[in-house]
Homo-oligomer: A and B are copies of this chain.
Amino acid sequence: MNHTDQPTRIAVIQPRVLEDPVINQEHAVDLIARASENGAKIICLPELYRTHYFCRVESFSRFDLAVLENHPTLVEMRDLASRLQVVLIVPFFERVAPGLYYNSAVIYDADGSVAGRYRKTHIPDDPGYYEKYYFTPGDLGIRAFNTAYGQIAVLICWDQWYPEAARLAALDGAGILFYPTAIGWHPSEKERYGTVQREAWMTVQRGHAVANACYVAAANRVGFEQSEGDPAGIEFWGTSFVAGPQGQVLACAGDAEETILFADVDWGEIETVRRNWPFLRDRRVDLYGDLTRRWREQRAENGG
């Protein structure tokens, strides 16, 4: 954890994503440059920012969108991090070998070196989010990474519903949890369930901020996306936000506008809140063993 006197300005990028990955990449570079011009030192792109959210259908050909970590777009981001002297969180659809793909992010440090790599740990699968078809569950663990501007962790979208993931990141030293995200409303559900869904999404992440007395920053996209095989489409709800170590919303974007959202992270505030609310001191690690079970009734069934 840093204990600098200076706050660190962070930015989360909330873009509208078009069909053409080349345009999306150019646009992301532009938004990052503008974030940097406005003082941001750690900048987070949303999940799979270069493409439409392709997991809407299970399609053989969409694996063509996956790239190796040495892909020119990632090299461009690495060089951008170095040139602007910023930390960049760059999600990408990672190809490792034929038949082996991940939902990943690379974290470039302010000198262009790789501060860390992350592969989405929790993979969803429900109608319109067919991610288990595309992505192998992450196998790099949940880690905090040292960067020039402080210790951070990256978790991706579905991970954000899991208190276990946030806790592991915090116990590894992360003071900010970044959540690149692609989440939206099914148009048929928005009117009836939309408010509750989005509120639940914010609440559980703000809860992670409280439970771990750390900052949480979620980067989502906006816009309606529709493609072959997906006539209903999906409306991404934006609402990118940054919460402070007591769960308070420090900054929040709208649900339809492209936004570069800024917040200032006060590393000393983490220390202050944790002294006042010393949750880490009192964790009953002797009683937490069953958190590694799928369901506790297995005790009885296994005679355990």
Contact = CB atoms under 8 A, between A and B. Distances in A.
Contact of A291 (B158, B164, B296): B164
B122 A163 contact: no
A interface SS class: helix
Interface bin, chain A: 35 or more
Interface stretch (A23-31, A224-232, A274-282): A274-282
Interface stretch (A37-45, A46-54, A203-211): A203-211
A68 to B, nearest CB: 25
Nearest to A143: B296
B173 A277 contact: no
A137 B173 contact: no
A28 B166 CA distance: 39
Given A204-B247, A246-B196, A122 B168 contact: no
Q: Which 6 A-B residue pairs are closest in the complex by CB-CB distance?
A: A207-B207, A163-B163, A204-B210, A200-B246, A203-B247, A172-B296
Given A126-B278, A168-B288, A285-B294, 18 more contacts: A122-B282, A141-B287, A162-B284, A163-B166, A163-B167, A164-B291, A168-B290, A171-B295, A172-B297, A173-B296, A196-B246, A200-B248, A203-B206, A204-B207, A204-B210, A204-B211, A207-B207, A280-B294
Interface of A: 121-124, 126, 137, 141-142, 158, 161-164, 166-168, 171-173, 196-197, 199-200, 203-208, 210-211, 246-248, 276-280, 282-297
